[in-house]
Structures are given as C-alpha cells and as structure tokens.
Structure 1
Amino acid sequence: MSRTLLFFVIAFCGQSGIAQQLVPADGAVITRTSILFEVPEVVGAKTYTYHIESAKGNTIDLTDDNHVLRVDGLSFGESYNWKVTALDSVGKTLYTYNQGFEIATSDFVNPKETRFHIVGASNNRKIKGLIFLDYSRVAITPDGKPVWFLPERESLKNKRLRDLKLTNRGTVTYLDALKCEESSLDGDLIWSTPDTSELTGESNDLYHHEFTLLSNGNYLALGKEFVPSELMINGAEVSKLPLSVIIEYSPEGKVVWSWSSSEFISNEDILAIGQKVGVGNTFGHMNAAYFDVKTGVIYASFRDLDCILTIEKESGKILQSYGDKIPSDTTTQGIDLFAKQHAPIKLRGDRLLFFNNNERNETSSVQIISEVTDENPKAEILWEFFCDFDSLRPAHSPRMGNALPLEDEHILVNMGKAARVFEVSPDKEVTWQCFPEIWDGGLNRWHPQPNYRTFNISSLYPYYHTVSLRNEKIRVYNEGSEDDTYIIRAYAEPKKRKKTKKVELTIEKGQFIDIQLSSLFNRKLKSKTVYVEVSSKNNPGLVVERSYLVR
C-alpha cells in the first residue's frame, strides 16, 4: 500500500521573514514601494489571487501559483488594503486573508525636496535593479524614481550616514561617527556596535568610512584608536596619535579580529611625512577596508598616503602595497599611478577597481590596475576613464566616491563630492547619468547632493525562498531576484538531523524545483512525521522547515 502525505505544519522560518505571519503585518507602516507579500501556504491551493487597493481607489489584481509575490509600483504616503485568496484546482475558495498597511513618506522621497535627474540613458546601459545613495538615504531605480528610504528615527536625526547598503538577508547596514548599525528595511534596529570599545576602553571606536556584514555573519568596521605619543609635530606635542583600526565583531558584539595601521606606519614615518594629525581624520586617512572572501585578503586604502595595502586577514601580514610609499616601505609597486583614491574592489583576473580622486585640480578618473602575482610581477594601469567628458559637473572630486562592476565590464561610478553618478562601458561610452539634487527653499533653487558611496543590487529582496507541498513533492521556489543555491535536508527524527541526507541545488531567480519527498530518504518511511529543512547559501539566516505526516 502506498503511503500518503496527509498534512503539513509550518514549523519555522528564519530571519528574513516569518512564514506563519502575514507580511506586511496588519497596520504596518513601511518605507518602500516594492513589497514582498506573503501569507501562510494553504493546503490544496493551486493559485493565489492578490488584490491591492489604495485609499484613493487605485487597484492592482494579480494571480500567482505561490503564496509569496513581489509587487512594485506602489506609492509613498498612501494607505492600502490587501486581500489574498487561495483557490483550489476548480477555482473554489479555500481561504482568504485580508489586511491593511501604510507606506510612509519623507523629504528623502518628496519630489519637491529631493530629485534624481537622469541624463543620457543609452540602450547600451547595463545598470539594473536599485541604486542606493547613502547621504540621500534612498534606493532609486535607473529612471530616478525612489522606491525606499531609511526612516529618520530619533537616534538618526540630523546625522550623515555613510556606506548605506543592502545585505543578502534583506537588511541594511550603515554608520556614522559613533555607531555602526544594521536595521530592517523599515528602520527597526537589529544590531549595533558596542557602547564601550573592547579595544581601547573608550566610549566607542569612532567609526568611519566602512561597515560591512560579512558572509560568516560577523561585521567588519573601520574605527579609530589613539596611541600614546610624545611626537612633536608643527611645534606642538601630540599626546595621542589617531590611527585607524579594522575591527571584526561577532553578532554578540565581541571583537574577534583586528588590525591596526600601526602595523604599517611608524613614528618615524609620521615625522618624515610631516602630516597634521589629531585634527579629525586618522594619520594616512584610511578610507576603505574591502574583504575578498575567496582569497582571504583585505584591501585597505589610505587616501592621504596615495596607497592601497593588501593584508592577509588570517595572519595580519601585509602582502603588497600599491601606490606612493611611506619612508619605511621599500617596495616599488604602483608608484605615481593614482592619488587620493577611494574604495578598491577586487575584480576577476587579479585586477583592482577603484575611484581615483587624484591630486587637487587634476581630473579624477576610474582605474583598473593589475595586481602583482607570480605571473605578473608589475602593477600597471589596465584601463582608465577620466571624468572630464562634459561640463555638467566638475571633472575633479576632492573627496569621497567609489566604483562598482556591472555586467559586461561596465562600471557604475559615484564621483562623491562632485555629485554625479554615471555608468561607463569598457569602450568608454557614458551610457547613463544621475544627478542627485536637493531643494534650497531659501535660495529658491536646486543644489547638487553629494554621496559618499553608492551601491547597486537587483532588488530589495535578492535572496528569498519558500517551501511547499505539491502532489507529494517538495517545491522549493526562488522568490528572490538573484540565482541562489539551496541546501535541503530531510530527516525522520530531529535529534538525528546531522546524520541525514543532504541535497544541494541551484535555482535561477523566479524559478522552482520539485523534489519527490521519498527521494530525500535512503530507506522506506514508516508511519511517522518527517521533516524537511531548506536553507539558502547566500542568505544563511533564512532557514525554512516543514513537517509532514506520512501514513
């Protein structure tokens, strides 16, 4: 006699969303116009109808075969009711969910206060998805339309936030001088750096420039440390020397790894260079610490030293330096190639991409240089694009900026202080431009709005999946906007979870795979409850478990 799957129970869903609850929750106030609607799966449902209606009477009606659906194009400052109806194979209603929510508004997304002027969008452009702008506190589409803003809760008021970006688990990270934080899309605080520094004992680590959620669940931040000193600089004694420190925090807020720029810069270097210290920035002005997971190497950028270091994270050893040299550095790679640079990123083929601000009154550029390897003994400029291609903005940006790789070797460039974001192709065609601007009511005119960094991602929901039962098969549905790899475990007893069969498979965005439940077990199942667990490789915090009764 064949065994039949009689029912299932939703047991647990991880950090990015709770499958048992309705999302968005009834009465929720959210800050995005792109929403991932979710209801609990209904047994026997073949389709789900989605009806969204605004208080003004505008409606959206959609049908999907899953109990999760992303809807774009809603409006800030609107209230909505939404209804999801689960239907069986003949169209009979099995269950209906009905709730309401509100989308907030802000000057950040008010077109009378802030605008994102798009110029010269070419059919050849590769920019897609969303562009995050940190000083603007928004994510916009390539046509300049805001779809999300970070709400200004009390602790964030009147603060300039840096390095605003979306994580793989659908949260956002950012920093100001006193705190590094992770919050939900709607501004609910999830994690922040400790109030007291474990490294220095100071009230905090005076954060700057960089804050990133790592793939291992830890956090990487740039901070300051003040080293006791008796140096005489410009005729005055500097009792505390400000240096940069790279800090890795655990989710519990403990320091699990750190690296100080004192490993690189000596007192003799400081005296020889004669740079002012103790007046804001750290000596050398470290402005980036990019961690390449595949190689285990950190790329640390020192703006005022015109230098990029590669640091082996495990040992803290300096592997290479590119650019101009401090007196104690006797290497010869990359001298005079760039100046005042920001945000190095490793590309395929042992290449480094970064924004080259350049010396004062010289044209800024985007550079790709070769890294030193056994096969390539010399760092050289492989590709460079200068920012003097028109007169709409200054060709030189004295501060801030970054560059990001897009498809087909196109590059997204943020010029920082120059308040221009643009895309450039490998053959140096500018294929898209954005000019962020804010309204000055006193002077009755628009002003350029600089951004320290920009960030590009496919959507607000890059990695999200659901698990359901379809005709005695497990259906894993990739509802995210990125391809993802999933680890599937099936076990008959929770205590034997680690000894069970594990299947790993990749599903393209928007697609699903059906798996026969019996194929997940190495033996015939007796009458009992079985468990299925599906986790995302790119969003490890999202783990979906289901339990099924087999008879």
Structure 2
Amino acid sequence: MKKYFYILFFLFSFSFSDLINPENASTLNYIHVLFEWEQESYASTYNFQLDTSLNFNNPIVDINNESLIYIDTENINWETTYYWRVRPVDINGASGEWIDTLSFTTGSTRSNAYSINYNDNQYSNGVTIFSSFFNYYSAMIDQNGDEIWNTGSSELVYYNTDFNGQLFGCQLDNSLEHNIPGVEFDIDSNILWQEPNEDFFHHELIKLKNGNYLGLVEELQPGPVAPGPWSAQFQAIGYLADGVTPELFWVGDRIVEWDKDTNEEVWSWSVFDYYSMQDYDIEGETWYQAFYDGRYDWTHVNALYPVYDENDNIESIYLSCRHLSRISKVNYESKEIDFNLGREMASGDVNCGEDIGFSFPHSVTVLDNGNIVTLDNGNLSTLWLDTEYSTSRALELSVTETENSCEASIEWEYSLPEELFGFASGNVQKLDNGNYLIVTVGDGGTALEVNTQKEHVWEGKLNLQLPNGAVYRASRLSGLYPISYSVILNDAIIENNNNYLEVLNNDSVANFSITIYNEGSSAEQFHWEIGQESGDTEYLNPGENFIINNNQNLFTNQELLSLGQITISLTPKNRIDLKKDITINFIEVQCDGEFDCSGECNGDAYLDECGQCMCGLNSDPDLYECDDDDECEQGCDGEWYSDLSELPIEDECGICNGNGITEGFCDCNNNIL
C-alpha cells in the first residue's frame, strides 16, 4: 500500500488544520472557490463533497481528486451557505473517515455588469477584472458576464496586476491626509503592502522583479500662468498671468521606487528634472481647469511600464503623460530620456510620432517585440486628426530607436464608435490569442474585445454610470487562481505534521520522489533544489503534474539515514514569494526478506544477462531504480550487449562481425568471377 505526504500553498497562509481553505464559517466575496486540505497517510485519492445541506443527502459536487486542491468554477452561487468535506481513499478504493466538515457563505455581487458574446470561438480565455472610481470597488466577470469576484465592503480600486495572482491599486481611506494610498491586496481584500503615504499617490502601482514597488506621486513646483485666452480670467482675480512670474503651483509627477521591506524611497525620477516647462497643453482646456482648481495639472502621468534585461534588472521605464500627449522611455540607470513619442511642443524635445496624432493617452505596455500598446483617449482628435467626433483609439505602435531619436508608425489601430468615446482613463491589453481588450469609460464603462481584423468578439458592459462610467482599468486574467499548486511526497508517512520516509539500511540508491500538480489557470515552471543539485521542471499546463525523483543518484539509503533529514525547495518561476521548503525525515526499516536489484524489499526486479536491473511485474520505475525497457541482446560472439549499436552480427559469409563481400569480389572466398 502506498503512503503519501502533501505540501500545499497558494495565496493563503499555510495551515496545520486538516481542511485548510476555505476557513470554517468564513464569508467569501467570490464564487470561484479553491478548496484545499492536508494529505493523509495511505491515501491514493480524496473524495470531495460539497452541498448546501449539512446532511449531504444529494451533494452538489461528489468527486475523487488525486491532488490536494479542487477549484470549483461552476456550482457555487452568491448569497448561499455551503458545507464541504473530504475523506481519503486508498489504492484499493476503500474510503477512510471524513477528515472534517466545514462551512462557508458567499457574499453579494457589487456590479450590474453583463456581456455580449459575438464570437465564442475567438474569445481569449479567462475572466475580466475592472474597477470603479465612483463607487470604489473592483470586480471580475466571466465570459458570460457573470460576476465571480469582488472586493466586498473594502473600497479597493484595481490598478494593475502581474497576471500571476498579485493585485495592485488604491484604497479609499478618508482618515489619511492622502486618502487613496497605493496598496497590494489579495482576493480576500487583505492589504499585503501599502506605500508610505508621504505624498499624494495616484494612477499606478507595479511590483518589480526585485520585489520593490514602483508608483507615481504628485510633485508641485511654482510656475507662471501661461499666456492664452484664459489670461484675463486669471488677471481678474489678481494673477499677473504674464507667462514669466512663478505664481501658480504646477502639478507634476515623480516616479518612485520603494523598498519592499522598509518602504524607503530607493530611486525616483521627476518630470521637473527632465521635461521642459516650455511644454504644456494649450488646446485641451487644462488651463481653464487650473483657474477653478487654483493649480495647474501640468503632466498628469497615468501609466508606467518597466522593461528588464536578461538578468531581470530594470533597463528602462516607459511612461504615459496625458496632458503633454506624450509617451517617454526613461533609462533607469542614467535617468535620461531615450526618446519622447507624441506631440511636438515648444521645447523641441519630442523625437517621433507627431504624425500619429494621439492625444491625452492612457495606459502603456511594451510587447516582447518592442511595440507599444496604448489607449489614445482622443480628446483632441477633431483638431489633430480632423475626425467627425471625438474619437478614442486602441493603438499598437512600432518604434525604432535611432541615434538620439526614433521612428514610429502605427502597427494596428481601432477607432471606437462615437458612443464609446472615453475622455479619461481606460486602457488597451493585447491578449494571448492576439486580440485586443479595449477599455473605455464610454457608454457607462465598456470592455471591448476586438480581433486583428477589427471584428467584435466580446463586449463587457460594466454599467457604472451613464454616459461616462468611471472605469479606471480592466484586464483579462487567466482566472482567479493563476498560480496554484500542490505537492505530494510519495510513499511518505505523516505524523504530527512531520513527514517521514522509510529507508532501508543498505547502500542502494535511495528511492524518493515528489509530484507537483499545477492547479492554477496558467502554465508554470518550477525550480527545484535538493542538496547541492538543482534544476527546472518543464512548463506545466493547467492540470498537468511532474515527478521529481532521485534519478541523479544524489543519495544512498545509508547516506539519508546518516543525514536524518533533507530539505527539498520548490519555487514557481513567476511567483518566487510562493517558494516552499519541504523537510523529509528518514527512519530505518528492516527488510524481512531479500532486497531485489532495485533496492525494494521483497521486490521482483531482476538482473538481465547484461547486468541491468529490470523491473518486474510489480515494480514501479518511478519509485525504484529499475528499467522497464529491456534492450539486452546476445551477439554472435556469445557475449551480451545493452548498447545495441555495438552488437556484433554475422555477415553474409557467416563471419562474426565480418566485412562480408567487399567491392570487387563476388563470393565469400574472395574469388573474382
């Protein structure tokens, strides 16, 4: 009978209870639910049941599951109480006792969103997360427009994600001087990190590959009231408005990198240091707004995108500057601007892209090929592009850097219809299947999926507020649980939360293995370390598993008994914070019979004529060092060979390993005919 040990971890804290997640009597703000439990000794599979009745007379779900996680995406509804339980099933199909029975209740929906499916076959798989700035909440909907997650009563606004399960945004907190601090949060609306709140944070928060956080804060410096049609209004209330005298605060932006542990600022970049104050908007009515606000919203940077080198060090940062209608690439090390793309202004600092004509852009991402994807809000499209009405566009731009300059062109574009014009916020995401998700405040907030032929595939109607719903951003995620996995230590005994393997006291190569199950909705690769050895698994698609064993012959049984225990480390490549160290304790077991050649007590593996250890009918090559593919053959010289490329055979003249009839001869006696 096989014995198993489990290791399990995801976005939740490791628990020593038998049933781990959801916690008993918890309230969940989602209906795609991940269930997890500890492994039982002697279990081959687990019987999982879910019901709305504590009696389980007619379970909604009744399945046998090989691993330690089950994710239900189809059977759970909002505002309902559920009960769940798990029991082990051994290799012979016999069920053990129920480990426990727990309950949970689902909360209420937050949105009134729905969807329109134009082409099911071209939909890029996953769920769509969006956020609302008027109501301060975030939610996810599936392809059918059904809400599957929200932030509950927490006033969290989604900004960004790493697409691997980490969520970033802001939280309304009116007790603070700066009332929408940047935060990292999880699907249960727990705050995992918050920026220091020393300045007004806005628009963007990104977790860098080094673990630090990158975001935007306001920075104010005095400047003049620029000359223009608005000058008389300013002069009427006492300003000189001469274009020279610094008498009005200009609001700029500073990019800040915060240390993940100390929250200290470790790097920053200010628009006041690298943009010219000769450049400002004169057509978008920002100066008229300044008259009412008492300060000038100069740059309004609204998006960042870091690019890394081959060693995962930041190489550059792209930024979207709304009020200068500009996208800039900043060298991280020197802080100098590599190029400015967009509308030329008085300084002459723009290098390329003026003919593209985007205005008041929002969002910026950089594809693997270097192309830039952005949303052109198009506030000035009637002036700059002579459009019939104010038109927002999704743009993919090809940019080629030249010496001290650049060249830019439109690789792909889609102009939204008039009713979907988005004067503010929004974004564009290029999806895994090549489609584009275009997000706009138009028509109450809309997320529109369009294919490369500009055909509508799917439309999410977010119903936030008419005519312009304050959707900030939306993104297509692979699922609510992109990276989730469980690990089983095969043949283990679990006692008091310790993991034991029985080891024979001999010098045979030790047989131990672990099985990794990818439970998440995204493909993932895992890095493993055993002693001084390490390696990587192949990429595992959702639902696949991978076995790591002692096939490097790292340890003999006696070495393991001498060590007493070893630690196996596993790290998901895209979520290093989910690293898990598995400690295995080894106990000696005596064999009451004989060891076979694979090291199994009373096993039926055998040595073939070549001296190879071959698996018997009951041997498991994944657990023991035996071969189930016998390639041993006897040569004409009477010897046995395992390398068949070296196997000697008789030639046509009957000579062992002979040359046969050579060129110029016609018989085996070398007689020329």
Q: TM-score range by the shorter chain?
A: 0.7 to 0.9
Answering whether residue 440 of structure 2 is matched by residue 400 of structure 1, we say: no
Q: Is the 8 A contact 1:132 1:165 kept in 2?
A: no
Q: For the residues of structure 2 that align with 1:117 and 1:477, how far apart are their CA atoms?
A: 34
Q: Is the 8 A contact 1:465 1:480 kept in 2?
A: yes
2:489 alignment partner AA: L
> After alignment, is 346-355 or 322-331 more displaced?
322-331
Q: For the residues of structure 1 that align with 2:516 and 2:162, how far apart are their CA atoms?
A: 24
Matches within 5 A, 1:297-446: 297-337=316-356, 338-360=358-380, 361-373=389-401, 378-388=407-417, 394-418=419-443, 419-437=445-463
The aligned residue for residue 183 of structure 2 is 181
Deviation at 1:129, TM superposition (A): 1.2
Q: For the residues of structure 2 that align with 1:219 and 1:406, how far apart are their CA atoms?
A: 25
Deviation at 1:58, TM superposition (A): 6.1
Q: Is the 8 A contact 2:327 2:341 kept in 1?
A: yes
Q: For the residues of structure 1 that align with 2:361 and 2:193, how far apart are their CA atoms?
A: 30
Q: For the residues of structure 1 that align with 2:280 and 2:84, how far apart are their CA atoms?
A: 63
Q: Is the 8 A contact 2:301 2:319 kept in 1?
A: yes
Q: Is the 8 A contact 1:223 1:247 kept in 2?
A: yes
1:188 alignment partner AA: N
Q: Is the 8 A contact 1:343 1:355 kept in 2?
A: yes
Q: Is the 8 A contact 1:53 1:80 kept in 2?
A: yes
Q: Is the 8 A contact 1:490 1:520 kept in 2?
A: no
TM-score relative to the length of structure 1: 0.85
C-alpha spacing 1:18/1:476, structure 2 compared with 1 (3 Å): same
Larger RCO, structure (CA 8 Å, separation 6 or more):
1
Q: Is the 8 A contact 1:488 1:533 kept in 2?
A: yes
C-alpha spacing 1:544/1:520, structure 2 compared with 1 (3 Å): farther
1:261 alignment partner AA: V
Q: Is the 8 A contact 1:286 1:303 kept in 2?
A: yes
The aligned residue for residue 534 of structure 2 is 502
1:343 alignment partner AA: S
1:526 alignment partner AA: L
2:534 alignment partner AA: K
Deviation at 1:42, TM superposition (A): 1.5
Deviation at 1:280, TM superposition (A): 6.9
1:20 alignment partner AA: F
Q: Is the 8 A contact 1:134 1:451 kept in 2?
A: yes
Q: Is the 8 A contact 2:328 2:341 kept in 1?
A: yes
1:220 alignment partner AA: L
C-alpha spacing 1:264/1:48, structure 2 compared with 1 (3 Å): same
Q: Is the 8 A contact 2:87 2:99 kept in 1?
A: yes
Deviation at 1:186, TM superposition (A): 1.4
> After alignment, is 469-478 or 70-79 more displaced?
469-478
2:157 to 153, 158, 161: 161
The aligned residue for residue 474 of structure 2 is 454
C-alpha spacing 1:174/1:101, structure 2 compared with 1 (3 Å): farther
Deviation at 1:397, TM superposition (A): 1.7
Q: Is the 8 A contact 1:34 1:460 kept in 2?
A: yes
Any idea what the Cα deviations from partners look like across 1:294-328, whole Å, max 9, x if unmatched? Answer: 57221111111111001122321211111113322
Deviation at 1:474, TM superposition (A): 1.1
The aligned residue for residue 231 of structure 1 is 224
The aligned residue for residue 39 of structure 1 is 37
Q: For the residues of structure 2 that align with 1:128 and 1:152, how far apart are their CA atoms?
A: 28
Any idea what the Cα deviations from partners look like across 1:70-124, whole Å, max 9, x if unmatched? Answer: 111211111111001111101233453323333342350xxxxx42232242134
1:549 to 579, 585, 600: 585
Deviation at 1:394, TM superposition (A): 0.9
C-alpha spacing 1:447/1:323, structure 2 compared with 1 (3 Å): closer
Any idea what the Cα deviations from partners look like across 1:257-298, whole Å, max 9, x if unmatched? Answer: 111111222344359999535657741211111222357221
The aligned residue for residue 633 of structure 2 is none
The aligned residue for residue 87 of structure 1 is 89
Q: For the residues of structure 2 that align with 1:36 and 1:192, how far apart are their CA atoms?
A: 26
Deviation at 1:53, TM superposition (A): 0.9
Q: Is the 8 A contact 2:24 2:104 kept in 1?
A: no
TM-score relative to the length of structure 2: 0.70
Q: Is the 8 A contact 1:128 1:141 kept in 2?
A: no
Any idea what the Cα deviations from partners look like across 1:381-420, whole Å, max 9, x if unmatched? Answer: 12111112xxxx6142211111101133211111234422
2:331 alignment partner AA: E
> Quick one: percent identity of the two aligned structures?
21
Deviation at 1:206, TM superposition (A): 1.1
Structure 1 vs Structure 2 CA RMSD: 3.0
Q: Is the 8 A contact 1:269 1:327 kept in 2?
A: yes
Any idea what the Cα deviations from partners look like across 1:315-372, whole Å, max 9, x if unmatched? Answer: 2121111111332243430014111111111123221111111134422111111112
C-alpha spacing 1:438/1:282, structure 2 compared with 1 (3 Å): closer
Q: For the residues of structure 1 that align with 2:70 and 2:160, how far apart are their CA atoms?
A: 26
The aligned residue for residue 134 of structure 1 is 131
Matches within 5 A, 1:146-157: 146-153=147-154, 156=155
Deviation at 1:60, TM superposition (A): 1.4
Q: For the residues of structure 2 that align with 1:256 and 1:309, how far apart are their CA atoms?
A: 21
Look at both structures and tell me which one has the larger radius of gyration over its CA atoms: 2
Instruction: Indicate the SS of the match to 1:422.
Output: strand
Any idea what the Cα deviations from partners look like across 1:153-206, whole Å, max 9, x if unmatched? Answer: 3xx3xxx725154752x34321155301122211122211114x2xxxxxxx21
C-alpha spacing 1:291/1:488, structure 2 compared with 1 (3 Å): same
The aligned residue for residue 521 of structure 1 is 554
Instruction: Indicate the SS of the match to 1:77.
Output: coil
Structure 1 unmatched ranges of 5 or more: 109-113, 198-204, 440-445, 492-499
1:373 alignment partner AA: E
Deviation at 1:480, TM superposition (A): 1.3
Answering whether residue 167 of structure 2 is matched by residue 172 of structure 1, we say: yes
Q: For the residues of structure 1 that align with 2:303 and 2:431, how far apart are their CA atoms?
A: 20
C-alpha spacing 1:281/1:451, structure 2 compared with 1 (3 Å): farther
C-alpha spacing 1:232/1:387, structure 2 compared with 1 (3 Å): closer
Deviation at 1:150, TM superposition (A): 0.4
1:422 alignment partner AA: L
C-alpha spacing 1:332/1:190, structure 2 compared with 1 (3 Å): closer
Instruction: Indicate the SS of the match to 2:433.
Output: helix
Q: Is the 8 A contact 2:201 2:217 kept in 1?
A: yes
Q: For the residues of structure 2 that align with 1:311 and 1:249, how far apart are their CA atoms?
A: 18
The aligned residue for residue 308 of structure 2 is 293
Q: Is the 8 A contact 2:49 2:59 kept in 1?
A: no
Q: Is the 8 A contact 1:478 1:508 kept in 2?
A: yes
Number of residue pairs matched? 509
Q: Is the 8 A contact 1:401 1:453 kept in 2?
A: yes
Q: Is the 8 A contact 1:151 1:187 kept in 2?
A: yes
Q: For the residues of structure 2 that align with 1:310 and 1:66, how far apart are their CA atoms?
A: 46
Q: Is the 8 A contact 1:126 1:406 kept in 2?
A: no
Deviation at 1:434, TM superposition (A): 1.6
Q: Is the 8 A contact 2:160 2:204 kept in 1?
A: no
Flag the structure with higher strand content: 1
